[in-house]
Amino acid sequence: MRTMDEWDPTCGWSAEEVEWYLMGPFEGGVPGLVRRIRRVLDVSQRGLAALIGVSQSAVARWETGRTSPRVSVVQHLLRLAGLRAEVHDAENGEVVEPMRDDGARDRAGRRYPAHVDLVVTGWYVPRGLDCTAEAGLWRRWSRAHQDPAVRHHTSAYLRWRQRGVFGTPVDHAALLQLVAEAEHLDEVRADRLEWRRAA
């Protein structure tokens, strides 16, 4: 353990700064968080291990920093201790939430890639149809089944340009929001058609 006597007076630190450095407290990271949770719960390493179904040596490795618990385990530990964690943007301090679980999915039921921005272009119509009549039938079917056509750019450059104009979306929209956007596009198209007929 370091003491006041180990510090060279020529380092330029005042006695108060040296004392602050020696006393801490300093952020303990994940090991310190696990120790804090044990303190809140008032349990030993063996007791915490029994609560969450792991070995005592696993808890000891977490507390010494040799390994780290999975995020799901940390969330479980926080819930047990009656605590919650928040993630903040380093620049502006705003809270950053996880991405929503009910975000839109593609036609195969898979989530869209997290880094892309989704754009609704209308109602779903398969590509390569032989005639426009089939496209109209598909649009009516898609509207009735609330199946909007959703596209996204895989090009980082196109995303950068689009975000420069419209900003970066916080999250992917839920299906109901995409359906509402497709219905809004229907209204915009109907208004344009009325305007052309009146002109």
Check residue 50 and give its pLDDT: 94
Sequence ranges of the domains in the chain: 4-88, 118-198
The helix/strand/coil state of 35 is helix
pLDDT truncated to tens, each residue of the chain (199 aa)?
455 555 555 666 677 776 666 665 567 788 889 999 999 999 999 999 999 999 999 999 998 888 999 999 999 999 999 998 888 888 888 888 888 888 888 888 898 888 899 989 999 988 887 777 888 889 999 999 999 999 988 888 988 998 899 888 888 888 899 999 999 999 999 999 889 888 7
137 vs 135: CA distance, rounded Å: 5
Tell me the residue type at 179: V
Check residue 154 and give its pLDDT: 82
Domain 4-88 superfamily per CATH: lambda repressor-like DNA-binding domains (1.10.260.40)
Check residue 3 and give its pLDDT: 53
The tally of CA atoms less than 13 A away on the side-chain side of residue 194 is 6
Query: E-strand spans in 9-61?
Result: none
Helix 29-41 to helix 56-64 angle (10° resolution) is 130
- DSSP string spanning 59-118? HHHHHHTSS---HHHHHHHHHHHT----EE-TTT--EEPPPPTTB-B-TTSPBPPTTS-E
Check residue 23 and give its pLDDT: 65
The helix/strand/coil state of 132 is helix
